Amino acid sequence: MAAGHDLLVKLYELPAEHNDQPLLAQGIELKRAFAGDREQVLAFVGENFGKSWVNECAYSLCQQPIRCFIAVQDKQVLGFACYDTTAMNFFGPTGVREDRRGQGIGRALLLRCLYAMREEGFAYAIIGWVGDALPFYQRTVGATIIENSHPGEYKRMIDL
């Protein structure tokens, strides 16, 4: 069972650069978050995904370069993805507004983060504590389960 396990991604085997044109044609912009948008991004994360993800996302917004990518349409955040928050070389947390899932936003945000990690010198990335999204990560980036990885790094949390 994969629920709660970490996954490994070979960054040197990522798919070719993602084509953002279909999202751009819908008015959806993908970009590295801007420090001035901190409150709006964190409010989105809190309203849609909960307090522990707010904490991790807040940390990503304090780093240089900022380690959070967002999808925005009509000045509204639709999704986010972070890296190097739980631990160095970890992807996540990430999420897309429920009514906007299945449109390629999550895939685009995932790839933006993984490309950034590769450009920063990593050969591998860890996707932490994956549950139901396992097939998505396997299909999209060839992720594999890291055996005996639950709870892994997360066992340090107070509220585990």
Task: Report pTM.
Answer: 0.92
What average pLDDT does this structure show over 128-150?
Answer: 93
User: In this predicted structure, what is the pLDDT of residue 2?
Assistant: 42
Per DSSP (E only), the strands in 51-115 are 68-73, 76-83, 90-96
Q: How far is CA 8 from CA 26, 44, 58, 90, 157, in A?
A: 32, 28, 24, 9, 21
What average pLDDT does this structure show over 14-21?
Answer: 86
Give which of 122, 130, 160, 123 is closest to 146, Cα–Cα. 130
Confidence of residue 160 (pLDDT cuts 50, 70, 90): low
User: In this predicted structure, what is the pLDDT of residue 61?
Assistant: 97
pLDDT at 37 over 80: yes
pLDDT at 55 over 90: yes
User: In this predicted structure, what is the pLDDT of residue 10?
Assistant: 98
